Amino acid sequence: MNDIVMKAGVRSAVGKGLFALRKSGKIPAVLYGPGVDALPIELEEKTTARVLNGLTGSTLIRLEVGDKKFSVLLRDLQRDSILRKILHVDFYAVPTDRAIRVHVPLQFTGESAAVRDFGAVLVHLLSELEVECLPKDLVNGIQVSLDTLEKVGDSIAIKDVLLPSGIKVLMDPEESIITVTAQAAEEEVIAPVAAAVPAEVEVMEKGKKPEEEVEGTEKEPKETKKEAKETKKA
């Protein structure tokens, strides 16, 4: 599915020239993949940020570079650690005639009766599945319904998920995706915290070496008594 279209230009700026490129409102990127030599490209900053924010690595993009068109996946995205602006993008050109392996995120839908009626807790064990498919069969997410989780102990395994056509999971079908557990009682939550306190205190005491401090405190009174006896004899 080529629902998303992006346009790019061939990039000449490299190294120190990337600073000026970013100042001009462009984002440096690179395109590579089977049968495609690594191609430095540049993207318009505002459009790119709008399209890529929230995009998953399993979303197929049609990237147009001049008069050439590529089916690509977002492989890597680097951001400024403070401003969160996109600094660099890697695109992977996928072959259209053979299967590819990607990680597709899971999308949870519906409501668990165990949570709604009994206050149980959902424990998420997987957030994505590794799959194999042709690029034309690639999906943005795989839906998992929570409606079947009716009581504590219920779970959903990979084999229970209805997969879209053309998708093959490359993981153990018996592996659990999500399970329902009882909410921990208050005393069960407090007990581990209370048990951990002595260990923390013990570490702090070892660091301060209180034994040495006590010995140092006791020596001074003994020396003072000795001096007092010598003064009396004199």
Fold agreement (4-93, 100-181): no
| Strand positions, DSSP E, 141-223 | 142-145, 155-157, 168-169, 176-181
What per-residue confidence (pLDDT) applies to 198?
33
DSSP letter for 33, please. E
pLDDT in 10s for each residue of the chain, 234 residues: 446 899 999 999 888 899 999 999 999 999 999 888 899 999 999 999 999 987 888 899 999 998 999 999 999 999 999 988 999 999 999 988 899 999 999 999 999 999 999 999 999 999 999 999 999 999 999 999 999 999 999 999 999 999 999 999 999 999 999 999 998 754 444 444 443 333 332 233 334 444 434 344 444 444 444 455 554 544
- Token pair recorded at residue 229: 């006896």
DSSP letters, 133-159, are E-GGG--S-EEEE-TT--STT-EEEGG
Q: How many Cα atoms are found within 13 Å in the side-chain-facing hemisphere of 195?
A: 6
Side chain identity at 160, as an amino acid letter? D
Angle, in degrees to the nearest 10, between helices 186-208 and 210-233:
40
What's the pTM?
0.69
| CA 142-146-149 angle, 5° bins | 140
Alpha-carbon span 180 to 28, nearest angstrom = 45
Q: What is the pLDDT of residue 97?
A: 86
Q: What's the CA gap between 110 and 149, in Å, rounded?
A: 10
Q: How far is CA 14 from the centre of its chain?
A: 30
Amino acid at 195: A
What residues does each domain of the chain span? 4-93, 100-181, 186-221
**Whole-angstrom distance between the N-terminal and C-terminal Cα of the chain?**
106
> How far is residue 124's CA from residue 110's CA, in Å, rounded to a whole number?
15
Residue 55: predicted pLDDT: 83
Token readout for 19 is 């600073």
| Confidence at residue 13, expressed as pLDDT on a 0 to 100 scale | 87
CATH number for the domain running over 100-181: 2.170.120.20
Rg (CA), the chain: 31
C-alpha–C-alpha distance, residues 105 and 129, integer Å: 6
The CATH superfamily label for domain 4-93 reads Ribosomal Protein L25; Chain P (2.40.240.10)
Contact at 8 Å (CB) between 156 and 144? Answer: yes
Q: Which residues are bridge partners to 30 per DSSP?
A: 40, 90
